[in-house]
Amino acid sequence: MTSSKRCPRCGQVKPADQFYRRRRGRRLSSYCQLCSRAAALEAGRRRRQDPASVRLLRVVDRTRQRRRRALGCQGGEGR
């Protein structure tokens, strides 16, 4: 595995430990952790501006909470 990698968003070469690991396999994410967080925040803000998206997000959250309660999961145990 490489010890450093270039983030295409910020253009900086950073150590591999500053990149998230992909869910499957040993590959690293494309963007560094800082850029990934910034992109997630921007996407969340964009979604919350659209009323239809806000309604959909609420429905998904309610469904997720009901499922967790039905399974008896507390906090992050059921993830």
pLDDT tens, residue by residue, 39-62: 999 988 888 888 888 888 899 999
* Residue 24: domain span: 4-71
> Does 77 fall in a domain?
no
Number of domains in the chain: 1
Cα–Cα distance, 12 to 22 (Å, whole number): 20
> Does 76 fall in a domain?
no
> Does 15 fall in a domain?
yes
Burial of 19 from C-beta contacts in 10 A (0-12 / 13-18 / 19+): buried
pTM: 0.63
CB 22, CB 29: distance < 8 Å: yes
Q: How many other C-beta atoms can be found within 10 angstroms of the C-beta atom of residue 24? A: 6
* β-sheet bridge partners, residue 32: 19
> Does 9 fall in a domain?
yes
Cα–Cα distance, 69 to 61 (Å, whole number): 12
> Does 79 fall in a domain?
no
> Does 16 fall in a domain?
yes
Is pLDDT of 9 > 60?
A: yes
Is pLDDT of 63 > 60?
A: yes
> Does 18 fall in a domain?
yes
